[in-house]
Structure 1
């Protein structure tokens, strides 16, 4: 039985993330912290995504989180049981998003059954709409940075002049980013989804960030949205039981000598991009671990094999015979790799989840933003915080292997990178064991709303 508080049952929260892995795991970490503070948490996702975190939910720290299943309807063109961007070619992700957006009525019925006090939701405008219909508190949880959110929200509203002009990417990257944010592809555009989501929610916004990283941006976001932006921490994954298959190899490398390269689970690289990254890792002359998750086919459709995508002879040259590199196809335990003492640099796309894991681990960043809001994230890390450097780009926004190698060596080897390495280490120490005072604002908001809701219900019952 659920332990009752003085005011009745524990406050109930339904968590609703987008289907991407980084979103799901950020919501899972926030769920863990909410359970620790006396809230009952229902974690809502699709069957295959819940199955993917089943082992995690068996761990003591997560065992009280209650899985709640919501099913995607059969959709022509969408393969069955493919319920994550990581399982689909890039061309089908818009269809997955559109299908997920059709779940508003089903989600409303789930809320009726569970009767929560609060929904903490991703950038899904239909979630706060369902909560509002039932008189339930809706709190958006943003798994992107506050700087990027401010920029996106301002673009949607029009007329907002982003005050950190020097922190914006160059004109070419900015144009590509704006085009991606404007792209609707049969759906509501990303920038409009963000605005609709924030407009329809309650008086606070939970943000996956830390005051040491984005204090000024949080204040600006609060002023723009007229809601209080609450930094709930970096929410780095708890150390689990999963094995780091690269640990033995890492143990043999000198301290701070390895560059770790990974580019997220939702960006599909072209063959040319893969080859330039391979060239950069080869030219830098340092030991490396490179996680390769996706490769676009020649027509932008089907995934290519690892061997097809890499330069001829690359694997033999860098990994054969006790070579200095490891190429990992698929998944790797990123936090365990980043926290290993032999890792001294992180070549990253600057997705917010990866960027915060690098910052939290004290590993300096070699920033190679590829898509959506990542150029702003990269500017925050390299320009605002000084914990990384940007890879120099070509005039058309592309990148070359020699410039990647230059960025890696600048951070990890050359004297000018000493300040970056020191800044990364010091920032990680300041963040330390994350302050939870700001998280208590979210918890207290939920508890207060739940109490008032119970009081209203009791009064209505007497009438």
Structure 2
């Protein structure tokens, strides 16, 4: 029986990239896919996917706010009218959960898709169940069903008060629907629990090898199927384990101050495992003051480093961000002072290449989930520097549960200082046991896409086929 599945991603590369890979996995199972996206996102999709014979792309009208449900129901009916059999289900990014009632009106079951880690959703549930507001400094609270090393602490409740809000649309300028999230109910469950009540199942961009306890915890609470179907990284990522992975073979190049060849040449000149890679992604970053502390810390250390500076990161980004490495632009002549010990990249960086190079020995990261699984899969230990939201949970997973990294500071509610940076880098890069822990974890992915996720996708397919009968 031929099946059609409708997929509704959120925009922004952290959502689009795993959605593209999910499309590839489903298409390889001979599934017809209808991808519903704002028209501005079409160019963000790789040409190989746009030209796939089993994929058709259709568009929501671009708008900063969602139109009334009754307005979109006839539009979706028109989309599916060419096929007398409606889609077997719709896979909906949780950031697009407002579309779930629309599919319900069309009698199309939905599966909620989290591009983030399962630990983030599990820890939100745990915090609600544990009523931790009375936790005191130094106290821990075990959560039945979760690993002991993920027990809630007083520091887990702290957030960075100075962090700017999330951007209203992706860094590439692709507009689409982004209704503001509802305020959490005092004493109530995480908002997504109620918002996804009509979903038939949940999918997470993770795997048993990383997060089985958290997948089970969520499934036991919501009493619905929960599948880990990731990490949803490019096919080339899995095939190139043990060798260099060139980003140009996977993702289109963006504006950058360096070429991949220049990065490779620089890395080739450094000893194995000696380079610290620093990147905060495209949408978040430290405060302006913390950027300056980071620059001073890197200058004070002896380790070679690659530092990626994104103009939009941290909104408004690094101070006096410019395209020229001059004294007047941040980081104010640091290149000249550190010489060949440091490589500063302005704009896009070939992250997959850097993480797969044997000279890379550490990753100072905000712990966005895509970056986290890319580093974990390559056996690189972390110095974690969470900025907002699920990054705190990812950081706790990396440090406390997977034990492949350190926090840059024990209290992330105060400014991270140069001393924090120096101490963290020295500790991480000098810890041979931590590096071995990361290598052992990375070895779990030596044989390609996780078998547990292949099986989870098979379970999903059987689940949908049974409902379609």
- Category of TM-score, reference length = shorter chain: 0.7 to 0.9
Query: Of the candidates 1, 10, 22, which is equivalent to residue 18 of structure 1?
Result: 10
1:173, 1:397 within 8 Å by CA — same for their partners in 2?
no
Question: Do the aligned partners of residues 330 and 212 (structure 1) sit closer, same or farther apart at CA in structure 2, a change above 3 Å counting?
Answer: same
Give 1:217's aligned residue. 214
Cα gap change, 1:169 to 1:51, in 2 (>3 Å): farther
Shift of 1:19: 1.2
Q: Does 1:176 align with 2:174?
A: no
Equivalent residue number for residue 225 of structure 2: 228
Give 2:463's match in structure 1, choosing from 440, 445, 457.
445
Mapping for residues 24-423 of structure 1, pairs under 5 Å: 24-55=16-47, 57=49, 64-73=54-63, 96=64, 99=65, 101-102=66-67, 104=69, 107-112=72-77, 113-114=79-80, 115-123=86-94, 124-153=96-125, 163=143, 167=150, 171-172=154-155, 174-176=157-159, 187-189=181-183, 193-202=191-200, 204-239=201-236, 240-242=249-251, 244-245=260-261, 246-294=263-311, 305-307=320-322, 310-319=330-339, 323-394=340-411, 396-412=413-429, 414=430, 417-423=431-437
Return 5+ residue gaps in structure 2 as ranges. Answer: 81-85, 133-140, 167-177, 237-248, 254-259, 323-327
Which of the numbers 402, 419, 430 marks the counterpart of 2:444? 430
Query: How many angstroms does 1:400 deviate by?
Result: 1.3
State the superposition RMSD in angstroms.
3.2
CA positional deviation for 1:393: 3.9
- Which TM-score applies when normalising by structure 1? 0.78
Residue-by-residue CA offset, 1:150-197 (whole Å, 9 max, x unaligned): 2234557896987157536763552327999x9999541477542233
Query: Does the 8 Å CA contact 1:260/1:346 hold for their aligned counterparts?
Result: yes
Number of corresponding residues: 407
Shift of 1:279: 2.2
Higher-helix-fraction structure: 1
Alpha-carbon distance change, 198 to 431 in structure 1, aligned in 2, over 3 angstroms? farther
What are the ranges of 5 or more consecutive residues in structure 1 without an aligned counterpart?
Answer: 1-6, 74-95, 453-463
Counterpart-to-counterpart distance in 2, 1:105 and 1:264:
37
Q: Secondary structure at the match of 2:388?
A: coil
Q: 1:178 to 1:12 in 2, by over 3 A?
A: farther
Give the match's secondary structure for 1:346: strand
Relative distance call for 1:69 and 1:347 in structure 2 (3 A) is same
* Residue 51 of structure 1, CA deviation: 0.8
- More displaced, 220-229 or 102-111? 102-111
Superimposed CA distance per residue, residues 225-282 of structure 1 (whole angstroms, 9 cap, x where no aligned partner): 1112211121122333557352232222222121111112221542112112222322
Aligned with 1:125: secondary structure? helix
